[in-house]
Amino acid sequence: MTPPHPAWLPVSAFRPVGSRRVRVTGAGTLVDTVRGEVAAAVAAHGGALVDDGPADLELVCGGDDGSEAFTVARAGATSVRADGGAGLLYGFHHVVRLGEAAFAADFAPERHAPRRSIRMLDHWDNMDVHPVMGQVERGYSGDSIFYADGRVREDLGRVEAYARLLGSTGVNRVGLNNVNVHRTEARLLTDLLPDAVRLADAFRPHGIRVHLSVGFASPITLGGLSTADPLDPAVREWWNRATAAVYAAIPDFGGYVVKADSEGRPGPFAYGRDHADGANLLARALAPFGGTVFWRAFVYDHHQDWRDRSTDRARAAHDHFAPLDGAFDPNVVLQVKYGPLDFQAREPVSPVIAAMPGTRLAVELQVTQEYTGQQKHVCHLVPQWSEILRFPLGGDAVGDIADGVVAVSNVGQDRFWTGHPLAQANLFGFGRLAWDDRLAPEAVLDEWIGLTFEDPAAREPLRDLMGDSWRTYERYTAPLGVGFMVNPGDHYGPGVDGYEYSRWGTYHFADRDGVGVDRTRATGTGFTGQYPAPWRDVYESAETCPDELLLFFHHVPYGHVLRSGRTVVQHIYDTHFAGVEEVGRMVGVWAELKGRVPDAVFGRVEELLAEQLRCATEWRDQVNTYFFRKSGVPDAHGRTIH
Amino acid sequence: MTPPHPAWLPVSAFRPVGSRRVRVTGAGTLVDTVRGEVAAAVAAHGGALVDDGPADLELVCGGDDGSEAFTVARAGATSVRADGGAGLLYGFHHVVRLGEAAFAADFAPERHAPRRSIRMLDHWDNMDVHPVMGQVERGYSGDSIFYADGRVREDLGRVEAYARLLGSTGVNRVGLNNVNVHRTEARLLTDLLPDAVRLADAFRPHGIRVHLSVGFASPITLGGLSTADPLDPAVREWWNRATAAVYAAIPDFGGYVVKADSEGRPGPFAYGRDHADGANLLARALAPFGGTVFWRAFVYDHHQDWRDRSTDRARAAHDHFAPLDGAFDPNVVLQVKYGPLDFQAREPVSPVIAAMPGTRLAVELQVTQEYTGQQKHVCHLVPQWSEILRFPLGGDAVGDIADGVVAVSNVGQDRFWTGHPLAQANLFGFGRLAWDDRLAPEAVLDEWIGLTFEDPAAREPLRDLMGDSWRTYERYTAPLGVGFMVNPGDHYGPGVDGYEYSRWGTYHFADRDGVGVDRTRATGTGFTGQYPAPWRDVYESAETCPDELLLFFHHVPYGHVLRSGRTVVQHIYDTHFAGVEEVGRMVGVWAELKGRVPDAVFGRVEELLAEQLRCATEWRDQVNTYFFRKSGVPDAHGRTIH
């Protein structure tokens, strides 16, 4: 079997460290991990791991307090000092990323600490293959790296390699199973707990705590009780016992992830209780052990009636959760999708993030490209996440408010891990932004390119190809923030009316006169009123609403003139032609990289770019034709609209 | 386990025969079947099966020549005389249908012979459960009655009951497996042949010959040859040997059913051969044994580009097959779907039927309600089939031209056989029309009601409910013959643009000005030119084209005035409101039948009518809203359009 691609940790990336004399001081599991990294690097590159005597690089762990901060400085030798093993690990990888620059005479001291303690990847992996959703729900990279045939895999080599990759970026928590908990993986909490232990053992050396997604009805389905009522003493007792058993087996277990009363999952509503009752039940079982419950705010009515214009799925999370601010225990983290709908290429930031100052919050992103090209399209998402985390929602930026950043992972058994080899950059970039959302997306991309590709001539074309690819994807798909317009079910490729008459609450209301969703307070669903100032007013007016979100907030005529000076319909035509042109150009840029990147990577990306071009063309033609048929307005430039 | 519903052969239906003295004269398998029927009937109703002495009913088989004709006459006793066992069986059931009327003193002699020798039901049953299509492709009545767990079922009691039902209607051929032949059922031709033998044994006592759907690439996939080229001697030899082996096991085997070079199935095109080469290859293997190959004309490009307005799926069958007229061997039957597309509620009759006077043809209908409500909606299809078979396509009616009538069956393991209990009438009616297409649909429905329901008070409400239900279904679904507008994949419920930008070639081209497909010679795809006079001209002009097919042949403005005097868009609104109203009325009619039909039937139909009303309402609202959003024309009567 071909070994999996080394991603951003190829042997070559360790040359600057590995060709030097390195001393590692300290003790503990993570210090041992760093020592192992150094040993491998010097073996490959001719340096030495030294116990005393002069060293070019000193890695010093001063304690074992779990601190994640570190300092890099240069005084004769370069040193990384940390108070805990995690800090040492992160500092070591920081030096790897710096490369030779870390050893320059004029290197100025740097202190680094993560902006938040929760940096988590959720896996939507099923233990059994689900008849509709497959083994990895919304997975585009082959089978689960964790599970095969209803159990955790025998060989966890790949999981260990994955843990190492994540640890190098600063990710420190992983959710082991799908938030839609099916029959088999539900048992990870009980009789299959030994399987979870094996995964925890694989992640632990890289500073990563594991979490289980659990079903709220577990006391019934696993425990044989007649209720899962969060206020029932027997239910509480059941969770207390189950949780104690998990901690007996996994002392550093991170906690639970819960999707409740959403899309058919069971939850506290069945017992007349609210989400705080539900979350606190689990939080209190976890608290004695230092565990956390991640309670998802993705709750809405998925049996909406398209005829009823008064309901608005965008309002749902705020309607459900904002009134509960202050009611959640301190070890509950409310996990809020970044936008009010569902991981679209463009959404406004969710108003829930500003609405719950008395609640710990994590922002949920999607590294797996469910709505952004499914790892068939180059769509570098770090700029999107950067925009979201920097967005000044209240007085503070989202990244200042969030206690955590969580995302859905994009890996699988695919030899490149992520289907599209360039999608590795999203996984890497997620970790980096979760650590520090103030990093420039371009700088993160450069880090990834520099680590992954040995040939410096690859850097410029890759920047060119990837840097703006999210905006390119946006151009050829749903316009002006209106979202969806995808094929129902699989969410790949255009389906302009795909969800227009469905129960999922994701509409665009295009008719012969105009398009968009009126979410204003004045005449629409009132969603704008969920935002703090100034956004409640900025979004309320079509004059001040940013172009890229216009159709998310307003229903406007096709002739409405955007702030860009173009009409809505001409904007649709222009961006769709431009988007496809850009993909065509990307094909050419990639062609230049032949011989500069490994052949297998080249071939895979070349194939996928052809699919991206085909699919983007289909998007362009369907969207343009759809709006031409509806509006009757011809393209100002006379280009072909079918 | 609840035994399956007796359908149209309940014990009560045999009272007129079973309460009399009956003599059965003759010998042979089918005569034995008739004798068994009589024995059971008299046992139930107090009559007698007599060998000599006076008889009220004489059933006389004069030979064993396989003739299917019979004469019923009355001279003191009522007699059925036939030259063959099949004729006796059909004559016996004719008397059962007549009931007491057959014993009236003034009964006038009748001679009956089928209008054609091929009356066939195809089963799209898979031996294994297909991951997408399930066990019965387009099946809406539960699992296959033939297969379970990849083999023919152990217990064939239900197959025997089914064979008896079919035999009573005159069906004389059955295709045992899906025309999309998958891995396991392919082997019915070879190592699983003993399974096919068991099914043949179950059908034989009812005058029914079995057929296998075979894959054209079988010489490769089953035989290990390197080619399936129809002109290759080794291929010919393989088919000859395989066919001889089948006949050694099933001496009355009917022949093969083939879907080739269609929707991804292998066929002769791969070798530069045509459909006649392919069909004749199999025909010559079958000819020595009296077998027939049913070669489907459902061939088209299923990778069409919606942007290319010059292609037209409706043209495909004629384009492919008409030039081959005269090239097929005499034991080839070309199996032509009734319309040029795919079993829509309304299509024009396929022009292929008039285009191949030198070829034996069978018209293919669909008893399973793929596009007509999937056995959730009451949609009595006999009137549709009657229209088709009576349609004067050339000089002759379709029923005069066709050497056979074939349909896809609608049965499964469901306790009512057909999901919707009233859908049994379609199965019954198919057999009756296949026997004689000149029967009035109302009379056939009356026969079915009379046999199935004991209470005479049920007749009028059932007539009312079912008689016009196909036209009702048409009213609330795709308008004016334009077709499709269904959800892609499962084909249930509205999806107005569901196939509009797809590769399947089924478009309606609705824009803000109008709707419909221009298939004229003057300005469109030229499909009208495939018809003989007068239809080539009747369909060519929007003035003479029948309203119900207008959008199949013409793209017209929403304001186009129909022959009915209404505009197209107002017609759409009116028919959709009327269709739903009618379903609402049907709910009321059914309610009257409580206590007059068995409770289990009542409950099932009541449930399904609720779903029909829900679904019809959804159709109405989506179609009306779609055209209102596009046209901007309000309803003349001010009814609610969302």
In chain B, the residue whose alpha carbon lies closest to the alpha carbon of A619 is: B501
Determine, for residues B513 and A632 on separate chains, whether the beta-carbon distance falls below 8 Å: yes
Query: Residue B394: which pLDDT band, with cuts at 50, 70 and 90?
Result: confident
β partners of residue A361: A334
Distance CA B355, CA B340 (A): 13
Question: Are the CB atoms for B283 and B245 separated by under 8 Å?
Answer: no
CATH class, range A118-452 = alpha beta
- Strands B292-296 and B255-258, by their bridges, are parallel
Is the Cβ pair B642, A307 closer than 8 Å?
A: yes
Say if residue A1's pLDDT is above 70.
no
Amino acid at A138: R
- Chain A's closest residue to B633, CA to CA, is A512
Select from A317, A348, A255 the least CA-distant residue to A552. Answer: A348
B215: distance to nearest CA of chain A, Å? 27
Rounded average pLDDT over A166-178: 98
Q: How far is B500 from chain A (nearest CA, A)?
A: 9
By annotation, the residues of B acting in catalysis are 263, 342, 370
- Residues from chain A that touch B642, judged by Cβ atoms under 8 A, are 306-307
- A11-112 carries CATH number 3.30.379.10: yes
Contact assessment for residue A155 and residue A105, using Cβ atoms and an 8 Å cutoff: no
> Residue A538 is encoded by which pair of tokens?
């900025």
Q: How far is CA A304 from the centre of its chain?
A: 27
Alpha-carbon gap, residue A23 to A59, rounded angstroms:
6
Its pTM surpasses 0.90? yes
What number of residues does chain A have? 642
Residue B1 has pLDDT above 70, yes or no: no
Comparing CB atoms, the residue among B494, B625, B630 nearest residue A512 is B630
CB contact under 8 Å between A307 and B621, yes or no, is yes
Residue A61 has pLDDT above 80, yes or no: yes
Backbone angles phi, psi at B166, to 5 degrees: -65, -45
By the 8 A CB rule, do A67 and A82 touch?
yes
Q: In this complex, do B632 and A513 lie within 8 Å of one another by their Cβ atoms?
A: yes
A342 in active site:
yes
Over 90: is that where the pLDDT of A131 sits? no
Which residues lie below 8 Å from residue B68, measured CB to CB, with a gap of 6+?
A: B84, B86, B87, B90, B113, B114, B117, B170, B172, B207
Res B241 pLDDT > 70: yes
Pick among B129, B486, B490, B497 to test the A interface (most A CBs inside 10 A)? B497
Class of A474-517+555-631 in CATH:
alpha beta
d(C-alpha A485, C-alpha A479), whole Å:
9
> What number is the average pLDDT over the span B225-242?
97
CA dist A27 and B390 (Å) reads: 92
Residue A171 has pLDDT above 90, yes or no: yes
Average pLDDT over residues A155-168: 98
Q: What percent of chain B has pLDDT over 90?
A: 96
Record: contact A629-B510, CB cut-off 8 A: yes
Q: Report the gap between the CA of B422 and the closest CA in chain A (Å).
A: 30
* Mean pLDDT calculated for residue range A341-356: 98
Alpha-helical (H) ranges within A507-555 are: 535-538, 550-553
Band (A190; pLDDT cuts 50, 70, 90) = very high
What would you report as the CA-atom Rg of chain A, rounded to the nearest whole angstrom? Answer: 25
Question: Could you give the CA distance from residue A28 to residue A49 in angstroms, rounded to a whole number?
Answer: 17
Would you list the domain boundaries of chain B?
A: 11-112, 118-452, 474-517+555-631
Radius of gyration for chain B, computed over Cα atoms and rounded to the nearest angstrom: 25
Instruction: Report CA torsion sign: A577, A579, A584, A588.
Output: positive
Question: Measured between alpha carbons, how far is A162 from B631 in angstroms, rounded to an integer?
Answer: 55
**DSSP assignment string, A468-518:** THHHHHHHHSSGGG----B-TTT--SB-TTTTTTSTT-------SSEE---
Considering chain B, what percentage of its residues have pLDDT values greater than 70? Answer: 100
Q: Which residues of A touch B502 (CB under 8 A)?
A: none
Nearest to B622 among A501, A630, A631 (CB): A501
A642 with B306: Cβ contact below 8 A: yes
Tell me the β-bridge partners of B110. B72
pLDDT class of A275 with cuts at 50, 70, 90: very high
Closest CA to B354 of B324, B398, B323, B388: B398
Q: Which of B397, B374, B427 is nearest to B141 (CA)?
A: B374
Spatial separation of the C-alpha atoms in residues B143 and B289, rounded to whole Å: 33
Residue numbers in B near A511 (CB within 8 A): 628-630, 632
Q: Which of A118, A120, A137 is nearest to A128 (CA)?
A: A137
Burial degree of B325 (CB within 10 A; 0-12, 13-18, 19+): middle
Q: Which residues of B touch A628 (CB under 8 A)?
A: 511
Average model confidence (pLDDT) for chain A? 97
CA distance A469 to A478: 15
Average pLDDT on B532-545 reads: 97
Interface test with A, best of B130, B307, B641 (most A CBs within 10 A): B307
So what's the pLDDT on residue A456?
Answer: 95
d(C-alpha A256, C-alpha A212), whole Å: 5
* Choice among A407-411, A633-637, B45-49, B299-303 with the minimum mean pLDDT: B299-303
CB-CB under 8 Å, A511 with B642: no
Q: Compute the distance between CA of residue B549 and CA of residue A637 in angstroms, rounded to an integer.
A: 38
- In b/e form, how buried is each residue of B82-102, taking b as 16+ CB within 10 angstroms? bbbbbbbbbbbbbbbbbbeeb
Question: What is the CA angle B362-B365-B371, rounded to 5?
Answer: 150
B173: left (phi over 0), alpha (psi -120 to 50) or beta: beta
pLDDT digits (tens, 9 = 90+) for B191-212: 999 999 999 999 999 999 999 9
Asked if omega into B6 is within 30° of 0 (cis), the reply is no
Sign of the CA dihedral running A389, A394, A400, A405: negative
Flag if B511 and A307 touch (Cβ within 8 Å): no
How many residues can be counted in chain B? 642
- What is d(CA A623, CA A480) in angstroms, rounded to the nearest whole number? 12
Q: What is the ipTM of this complex?
A: 0.90
Q: Provide the greatest CA pair distance for chain B.
A: 80
Q: For residue A156, give the amino acid letter.
A: L
**Mean predicted confidence (pLDDT) in A444-472:** 97
* Complete DSSP assignment for A71-98: EEEEESEEEEEESSHHHHHHHHHHHHHH
How far apart are alpha carbons A567 and A548 in whole angstroms? 13
Q: CA-to-CA distance for A21 and A53, rounded, in angstroms?
A: 9
The string of DSSP letters for B284-304 reads: HHHGGGT-EEEEE-----SS-
| B-chain residues near A485 (CB < 8 A) | none
Nearest CA in chain A to B307: A642
DSSP secondary structure string for all residues of B519-554: --TTTS--GGGGSPTTHHHHTT-TTTS-GGGHHHH-
Instruction: Give the amino acid at A456.
Output: P
Residue of higher predicted confidence among A77 and A394: A77
**Alpha-carbon distance A319 to nearest alpha carbon in chain B (angstroms):** 26
Select the residue of A496, A501, A512 nearest B512 (Cβ to Cβ): A512
Q: Are A85 and A30 in contact (CB under 8 A)?
A: yes
- A and B: number of Cβ contacts within 8 A: 48
Q: Which of B511, B618, B642 sits opposite A629 (nearest CB)?
A: B511
Q: What is the pLDDT of residues A605-628, one digit of tens each?
A: 999 999 999 999 999 999 999 999
Q: Are B345 and B484 in contact (CB under 8 A)?
A: no
Q: Residue A296 is encoded by which pair of tokens? A: 């998802």
> pLDDT tens, B119-161?
999 999 999 998 888 999 999 999 999 999 999 999 999 999 9
How many H helices and E strands in chain B? 21, 20
- Mutation for testing the A interface, residue in B496, B507, B511 having most A CBs under 10 Å: B511
Indicate the average pLDDT of chain B.
97
Percent of chain A, pLDDT > 90? 96
Q: Nearest to residue A398, comparing CAs of A68, A114, A116? A: A116
Quote the minimal CA–CA distance from B528 to chain A in Å.
24
- Spot the catalytic one: A274, A342, A347, A540: A342
- Judged by CB atoms closer than 8 Å, whether chains meet at B511 and A622 is answered as no
**3-class SS string, A348-411:** CCCCHHHHCCCCEEEEEEECCCCCCCCCCCCCCCHHHHHHHHHCECCCCEHHHHCCEEEEECCC
- Where b means 16+ CB within 10 Å and e means fewer, B403-417 reads ebbbbbbbbbbbebb
Q: How far apart are CA A315 and CA A208, in angstroms?
A: 35
Out of A64, A160, A237, A263, the active site residue is: A263
Contacts of B630 in chain A (CB under 8 A): 511-512, 629-630
Contact (CB<8Å) B496/A494: no
Closest Cα in chain A, distance from residue B319 (Å): 26
User: Nearest by CB to A632, which of B306, B512, B628?
Assistant: B512
Q: What is the C-alpha separation between B338 and B332, in angstroms, rounded?
A: 18
Candidates A306, A497, A632; nearest CB to B497: A497
Q: CA B151, B156, B159, B161: dihedral to nearest 10 degrees? A: -170
Comparing alpha-carbon positions, the chain B residue that sits nearest to A514 is B629
Using alpha carbons, select from A478, A492, A472 the residue that is nearest to residue A587.
A472
CA dihedral A574, A580, A582, A588 (to 10 degrees): -150
Contact B629 A511 (CB under 8 A): yes
* Cα distance between residue B159 and residue B182, in whole Å: 22
Contact B630 A511 (CB under 8 A): yes
CA dist B546 and B397 (Å) reads 18
Chain segment B300-340, per-residue pLDDT in tens: 988 999 999 989 999 999 999 999 999 999 999 999 999 99
| CA distances for B354 relative to B336, B351, B397, B532, angstroms | 11, 6, 9, 7
Which of A135, A490, A501, A618 to mutate against chain B (most B CBs within 10 Å)? Answer: A501
Give me the residue label for tokens 């057959």. Answer: B102
